[in-house]
Amino acid sequence: MDRETEDVLGVVGPRLRALRRARGITLADLAVTTGVSESTLSRLESGQRRATLELLLPLARTYDVPLDDLVGAPRTGDPRIHLKPIRRFGMVFVPLSRRPGGMQAFKMIIPAQQRPLEPTPQTHEGFEWLYVLNGHLRLVLGERDLTVPPGEAAEFDTSLPHWLGSADGGVVELLILFGLQGERAHVRAGPASSTR
């Protein structure tokens, strides 16, 4: 048995005793409720009996606590997402998805500029959908030069020459969905209209 497991099991007895006393339950009452003999429960609490799943499951049910809480097991699988920003072309891209291939999601931040940047349109394979969260986006798409305010979206084939920047020199924050294979985002603001 490894050291970590021994450490976890070593504190089970005192934890069980403290829990029982905090609930005001006697060993005799606990034995009746769990079906585990009073002597076994006493030895378990004093550390003379090793905790097993057969002993801990009825205790967890009686105390109405997760098994992990009974044994003080270390938490696993941190549910938080630790996003690692990527800096490219003077902008910050925060990946919001981790799925290889298919649709990719990013938050993009275009920093404030003292002077407007000269557009340098690029092309690549794929299809892009973007939504402006804050600031005013300058979108150069082929021969068109557009300003996209907060709350508006745009979508385009990235094989067209395109460039993204700030329209007024301020910070711009946007969400981007990008599909290398030309997948398109479909946004529905309300129920689909019926045709007759």
pLDDT per residue as tens digits for the range 142-167: 999 999 999 999 999 999 999 999 99
Distance separating alpha carbons of residues 31 and 22, to the nearest angstrom? 17
Distance separating alpha carbons of residues 75 and 152, to the nearest angstrom? 42
pLDDT per residue as tens digits for the range 4-62: 656 656 678 888 888 888 888 999 999 999 999 999 999 998 888 888 888 888 888 88
| Size (the chain), residues | 196
pLDDT per residue as tens digits for the range 69-126: 777 766 566 666 667 788 888 889 888 876 656 678 889 999 998 888 899 999 988 8
67, pLDDT greater than 70: yes
Instruction: Report yes or no: 15 and 56 within 8 Å, Cβ to Cβ.
Output: no
For residue 164, what are the contacts with CB-CB under 8 A and spacing of at least 6? 91, 108, 110, 130, 137, 138, 139, 140, 172, 174
According to DSSP, the residues that pair with 166 across neighbouring strands are 137
133, pLDDT greater than 90: yes
Distance separating alpha carbons of residues 113 and 168, to the nearest angstrom? 9
Is 0.85 topped by the overall pTM? no
Helix or strand or coil: residue 91? Answer: strand
